[in-house]
């Protein structure tokens, strides 16, 4: 994975501290080209990985990118699924059959039959496969080296003890999409222990990591213990800025002290902020590695 990864919260009006800022972002990015402009800016700054939900508008961005494949040949996507709101909205607008036609690839009758049988039999792994294929439809032809399961699902399944679905997810992503499975969670330590118990080797785990414990389930001390341990997992840090509660210097200074963290995910929309965060992450990570030697 790349060390520096751009996220998409800012494009869809997601801000965990300020509703006013959320509304302003939603207005700014109401046009698809405005999102692509930021991706171009990030690319100019040397950030070539975009971690995004499977929001409908991402399909529009991909359509624009496909018009200029040479320009975007180095761009990598890290899809995060599922994005539940789009299905609820689609059923309202298109109906159930229309939604199936819009999102699920393949013969609609065959897919519906497979889904119906799986539902009756409570065959959750098969239902998961259908949902993954539906979510990945928009990324056809794109470079997707890591595919993430969203924390809403990860933490729900973990709480319900439905362990077998994590194993099936990991195997399906590897075999069907030749990609690495990733897991987003609000409880990194518990996820690490579960993967170890299930035999999911060296998993990619994305979690909130910041110096004030924002959206971190478990103590900061426990997180730090795992990040300094010899446990085999690949951490990705998100929400390092704690939704703007921390300034970039102190936020990245905290995260980058842990060489075990392979990637840092952040949201930004201006060239100055993207470049600042990238430079800080690379500089502070290099300094942390030097101290270890």
pLDDT of residue 28: 86
> Domains in the chain, start-ordered, CATH in brackets?
4-82+144-292 (3.20.20.100)
pLDDT digits (tens, 9 = 90+) for 129-148: 888 998 999 999 999 999 99
pLDDT of residue 56: 86
Residues of the chain with pLDDT under 70: 13-19, 21-22, 84-92, 94-123
pLDDT of residue 126: 79
What is the SS3 string spanning the chain?
CCCEEECCHHHHCCCCCCHHHHHHHHHHCCCHHHHHHHHHHHHHCCCCEEEEECCHHHHHHHHHHHCCCCCCCCCEEEEEECCHHHHHHHHHHHHHHHHHHHHCCCCHHHHHHHHHHHHHCCCHHHHHHHHHHHHHHHHCCCECCEEEECHHHHHHHHHHCCHHHHHHHHHHHHHHHCCEEEEEECCHHHHHHHHHHHCCCCCEEEEECCCCCCCCCCCHHHHHHHHCCCCCCEEEEECCCHHHCCCHHHHHHHHCCCCCCCEEEECCCCHHHHHHHHHHHHHHHHHHHHHHC
pLDDT digits (tens, 9 = 90+) for 173-192: 999 999 999 999 999 999 99
pLDDT of residue 63: 96
pLDDT of residue 97: 54
């Amino acid at each position: 994975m790349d060390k520096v990864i751009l996220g998409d919260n800012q494009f869809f009006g997601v801000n965990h501290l300020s509703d006013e800022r959320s509304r302003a972002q939603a207005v700014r990015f109401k046009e698809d080209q405005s999102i692509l402009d930021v991706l171009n800016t990030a690319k100019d700054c040397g950030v070539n990985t975009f971690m995004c939900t499977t929001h409908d508008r991402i399909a529009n961005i991909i359509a624009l990118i496909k018009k200029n494949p040479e320009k975007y040949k180095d761009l990598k996507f890290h899809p995060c699924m599922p994005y539940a709101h789009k299905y609820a909205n689609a059923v309202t607008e298109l109906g159930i059959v229309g939604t199936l036609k819009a999102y699920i690839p393949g013969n609609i009758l065959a897919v519906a039959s497979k889904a119906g049988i799986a539902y009756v039999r409570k065959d959750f792994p098969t239902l998961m496969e259908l949902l993954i294929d539906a979510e990945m439809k928009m990324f056809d032809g794109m470079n997707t080296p890591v595919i993430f399961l969203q924390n809403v699902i990860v933490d729900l399944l973990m709480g319900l003890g439905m362990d077998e679905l994590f194993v099936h997810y990991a195997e399906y992503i590897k075999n069907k999409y030749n990609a690495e499975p990733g897991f987003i969670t609000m409880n990194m330590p518990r996820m690490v222990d579960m993967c170890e118990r299930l035999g999911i080797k060296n998993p990619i785990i994305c979690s909130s990591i910041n110096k004030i414990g924002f959206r971190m389930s478990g103590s900061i001390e426990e997180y730090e213990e795992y990040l300094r341990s010899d446990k085999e997992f690949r951490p990705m840090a998100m929400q390092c800025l704690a939704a703007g509660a921390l300034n970039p210097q102190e936020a990245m200074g905290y995260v980058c002290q842990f060489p075990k963290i392979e990637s840092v995910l952040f949201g930004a929309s201006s060239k100055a902020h993207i470049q600042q965060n990238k430079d800080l992450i690379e500089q502070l990570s290099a300094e942390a590695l030097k101290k270890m030697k």
